[in-house]
Amino acid sequence: MNAHEIVSDAITQYGRPLWVAHIPARIRKQVDAQWLSEQLHTAHRSPDSITRNDQYQDILNWCKSNLFAEVTLQQLQEISGLSAPTVRKFIESRMDVFRKLRRGVWEVRDPKADREADQR
């Protein structure tokens, strides 16, 4: 097995950035930087490397593309992969993005538009 195959297999199996921990530096140095960049560009992200902030950002990105949608706690859990208490805490900390409609249902708001409307 050559260095390209070893690195490619590790990237496929472990994803980025964790593949680095499984391949010795002497093998990584044998691989062309351009080829490695292309491989990493298409690689999936390792589930172990996803942080809570990444999951929060997933929720906010979804909210930006679904303004004024009604959303439930369960839907936000599916989007982010976070637990129910963590999602509820996030919603409560971001009242500029979420407005409570009724028990367990929030409306996604546009904070910038709301601030502009308040200034008028």
Q: Residue 106 has what DSSP assignment?
A: E
- CA dihedral defined by 72, 103, 85, 45, rounded to 10 degrees? 10
pLDDT of residue 98: 93
CA-CA distance, 49 to 15, in Å (whole number)?
Answer: 9
pLDDT per residue as tens digits for the range 80-116? 889 999 999 999 999 989 999 999 999 998 877 767 7
Task: Evaluate if pTM is beyond 0.75.
Answer: no
The answer, yes or no, to whether residue 118 has pLDDT greater than 90, is: no
pLDDT of residue 100: 94
DSSP-derived secondary structure for 11-72: HHHH-BTGGGGGS-HHHHTTS-HHHHHHHHHHPPBPGGG--HHHHHHHHHHHHHHSTT-EEE
pLDDT per residue as tens digits for the range 14-63? 887 888 888 888 888 888 889 888 888 887 777 766 788 889 999 999 99
